[in-house]
Amino acid sequence: MEHGIGSSAFGRSLFEEGMVSKKTFTLFALGAALFSACSDFETIDPYTRTGAPERGASLSSSSDAEQNSSSSVITSVQCGSISIDPATHFCFNNLPYELCGDYDYRPTYEFCSGTGIYAKCGTAAFEPASEFCLGITVYGKCGGTVEYNPSTEACCGNDKYTPSASNFCFNNSKVVAKCGARPEEFDPDLYECREGDKIYLKTPLSYEGESYDAVLIGAQTWMAKNLNYDVPDVSTDVCYSLNESNCAIYGRLYEWATAKDICPSGWHIPSEAEWSALTDYAGGNYTLGTKLKAASLWKTYSGGDITGTDIYGFAALPGGYYGDAFSGVGESGHWWMLSENNTISKVHMSYSSSYTYMNQFNNKYLYSVRCIKDRL
């Protein structure tokens, strides 16, 4: 039985239909036409390419006698206007393609990667070693090796996880539990969750003999208590009523000239913009005071319950101030702030209000200092 195959398409169709193996498919020339010599067909799976033909072998005659008498080795065939070597290339829709290993494939639906043949993802080829196809979309494998379900999972470093309201992936390296209902994402090597939903620096700041806890609020890290550093040879930093026990509770009161450079290295007096960012994060001036105040040491207001909730661990205390005299301990707290136009201002909270005030004031008065961490 003889089959004329004047073009490579017919020969390829025999492979695609699973009819011919490399041991039974040979070509021979008769006049100007090519013919296939077929015997003892065996089935080939064209999708897994099991038993697919090796082109160099399939284009040679089965014996020296046949080669000398009626066949010749085909070293080139025409593909459109181009001659190709069928040992290294195949023709599809009159366009030449390199064989994938020893096999041809269907470029409309398949692609070659290394020596493997894969179905396209929609119309796109991809890198099977580091990518995968779901539906018609290509996704990168986690760490280049792990597939995941994009509708319910995500990558975190080299592995996959299931995102939820109670966790997050930090720095694409590790999955971390959130701190209660807090939305902040934080470095678990630097911060830890305490008291249910307060995010503290793991290692308190040590400065001039005092230890200071610090809390993360939004993107800012604030000291969790007022500064209590007795600057040597300076008389403008004092304890309220000149009583050292008040310094232990409320920290010291400072004149601006002393306060502006008193924070430890890597920390500074907060600016108006930084206080405004804290205010916005906490929901506005009208509730900021209540959320930042410590739950104790504030005088009770007879006009209603506005007790501090201290929900972030800021623990604002009513340390009072010094003007012409000491005033306000237990009733008000005052903290130095640098305004946008570099004017000197302060933040003020009162026991009788949940509001937080920001205003310019006499730089000769003495107020508390609360330092904020520099941002990198």
- DSSP one-letter code for 264: P
Alpha carbons 115 and 117: distance in angstroms, whole number: 7
Residue 161 above 90 pLDDT? yes
Residue 21 above 90 pLDDT? no
Tell me what percent of the residues of the chain surpass a pLDDT of 70: 78
pLDDT digits (tens, 9 = 90+) for 139-156: 999 999 999 999 999 999
Q: Which of 43-52, 264-273, 361-370 has the highest mean pLDDT?
A: 264-273
Domain ranges of the chain: 2-118, 120-177, 205-373
SS3 call for 286: helix
Alpha helices in the chain (DSSP H): 8-16, 55-58, 64-69, 244-250, 256-259, 272-281, 285-292
Residue 58 above 50 pLDDT? no
Q: Give the pLDDT band of residue 8 (cuts 50, 70, 90).
A: very low
- Tabulate helix, strand, coil % of the chain (nearest 5): 15, 35, 50
Q: 81 phi and psi, to 5 degrees?
A: -100, 10
Q: Are 227 and 369 in contact (CB under 8 A)?
A: yes
Query: How many residues can be counted in the chain?
Result: 376
| Three-state secondary structure string covering 59-72 | CCCCCHHHHHHCCC
- DSSP one-letter code for 219: T
Q: Are 105 and 115 in contact (CB under 8 A)?
A: no
- For the whole prediction, is pTM greater than 0.75? no
Residue 182 above 60 pLDDT? yes
pLDDT digits (tens, 9 = 90+) for 199-243: 999 999 999 999 999 999 999 999 999 999 999 988 889 999 999
Q: Give the pLDDT band of residue 340 (cuts 50, 70, 90).
A: low
Question: Average pLDDT of 172-200?
Answer: 96
Average pLDDT value over all residues in the chain: 83
